[in-house]
């Protein structure tokens, strides 16, 4: 079996369908909470207090990345929280500036140092392309596969309990699966009712790759959607809770970001109700393949840089 991790994937997925079960199981048997705290654009004292508050409110999973430039403060919060390291699930990501075998090994060493930890629970390749390369350059593929080999080594050395990717399309995953020794456990992608990612989710499920939904609130843009608000008012829940519950019921991990204490708590209160099939269908029906963040998909020519927070540009990676 070697490093080809065979797992109780089906059992994990079945367990996840229970509304009270708060964990999923990765393809290497590592447990992962269905909710984590996002930290993109949270920095300094703000991110430190958000992480502390999240850990004290029952979150165990924190999502960061070397490009977020907040790992030092997150590391301080982890220590100050007093929560045992084994009860925290920490994710970080190798940036497009850190791709390549040696660079990635060095980058993860620096990530661990900044976070003040011996290991990551999950380490992802942040983006399928490398910085400063033409988007269509074949070198992107070569570099991301070298980066993957570095993550495989770090996995074997137990510096990462699980390894995965982010913003990979089916095409990127197919390529990686054809050459990898350790299969990716996770693909972290933008997902919310305006971008339901059905074909990619189905592909990932067939290949035992767990999907993590980033920007699950559409970077805040979906909180005023009339369908979301209607379901929220019928259910006496908040729009954020409806959006997050929708993700949970699609068996993905949701990663909402907030720096506000009351919202951090609100976003975690999603395991005591279940959306009906009809409500799920109404939310699925909002799909318009709309990215508020960036899209690595060559076919998404119409991807619009609409979000005022991110000022995103369309990127296509070969």
Minimum Å gap between C-beta 14 and ligand NAP is 26
The answer to the question of residue 240 lying near ligand NAP (CB under 6 A) is yes
Instruction: Answer whether 16's CB lies under 8 Å from 27's CB.
Output: no
- Closest distance to ligand NAP from the beta carbon of 1 (Å): 30
Q: How many chain residues bind ligand NAP (CB under 6 A)? A: 28
Q: Are 248 and 34 in contact (CB under 8 A)?
A: yes
Q: Which stretch binds ligand NAP (CB under 6 A): 148-156, 169-177, 199-207, 251-259?
A: 251-259
Among candidate residues 311, 308, 286, 314, the one with its CA nearest the CA of residue 221? 308
309 known ligand binder: no
Instruction: Give the x/- contact pattern for ligand NAP in 165-204, rule: CB under 6 A.
Output: -xx--------------------x----------------
Among 259, 283, 312, 317, binds ligand NAP (CB under 6 A): 259
**269 vs 71: CA distance, rounded Å:** 26
- Structure tokens, 162: 């699980």
**38 contacts ligand NAP (rule: CB under 6 A):** yes
Q: Residue 182: which H helix or E strand, with range?
A: none
For residues 69 to 98, the per-residue mask of contacts with ligand NAP, x marking binding by CB under 6 A and - elsewhere, is ------------------------------
Residues 6+ apart with CB under 8 A from 142: none
Q: Are 56 and 35 in contact (CB under 8 A)?
A: no
Indicate the SS3 state at residue 92.
strand
Is the CB of 167 or the CB of 297 nearer to ligand NAP? 167
Strands 163-166 and 89-94: unpaired
Active site residue 68: yes
Contact 156, 3 (CB under 8 A): yes
Contact residues toward ligand NAP (CB under 6 A) are 38-40, 63, 126, 166-167, 188, 214-220, 223, 238, 240, 255-260, 263, 266-267, 293
Which residues define the annotated binding site for substrate?
126
């Amino acid at each position: 079996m070697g490093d080809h991790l065979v797992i109780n994937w089906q059992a994990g997925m079945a367990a996840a369908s229970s509304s009270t079960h708060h964990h999923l199981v990765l393809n290497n048997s590592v447990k992962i909470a269905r909710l984590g705290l996002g930290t993109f654009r949270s920095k300094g004292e703000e991110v430190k207090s958000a992480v502390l508050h999240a850990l004290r409110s029952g979150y165990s999973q924190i999502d960061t990345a070397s490009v977020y430039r907040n790992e030092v403060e997150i590391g301080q919060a982890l220590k100050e929280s007093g929560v045992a390291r084994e009860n925290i699930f920490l994710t970080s990501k190798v940036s497009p500036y850190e791709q390549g075998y040696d660079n990635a090994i060095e980058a993860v060493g620096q990530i661990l140092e900044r976070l003040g930890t011996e290991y990551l629970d999950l380490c992802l390749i942040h983006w399928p392309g490398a910085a400063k390369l033409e988007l269509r350059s074949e070198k992107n593929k070569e570099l991301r596969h070298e980066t993957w080999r570095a993550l495989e080594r770090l996995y074997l050395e137990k510096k990462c309990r699980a390894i995965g990717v982010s913003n990979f399309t089916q095409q990127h995953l197919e390529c990686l699966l054809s050459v990898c020794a350790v299969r990716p456990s996770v693909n972290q992608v933008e997902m919310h009712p305006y971008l339901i990612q059905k074909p990619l989710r189905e592909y990932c499920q067939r290949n035992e790759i767990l999907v993590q939904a980033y920007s699950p609130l559409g970077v805040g843009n979906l909180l005023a959607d009339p369908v979301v608000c209607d379901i929220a008012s019928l259910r006496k829940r908040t729009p954020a809770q409806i959006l997050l519950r929708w993700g949970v019921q699609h068996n993905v991990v949701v990663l909402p970001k907030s720096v506000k204490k009351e919202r951090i708590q609100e976003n975690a209160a999603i395991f005591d109700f279940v959306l009906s099939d009809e409500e799920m269908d109404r939310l699925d029906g909002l799909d318009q393949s709309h990215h508020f963040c960036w899209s690595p998909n060559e076919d998404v020519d119409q991807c619009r840089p609409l979000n005022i927070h991110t000022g995103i540009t369309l990127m296509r990676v070969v």
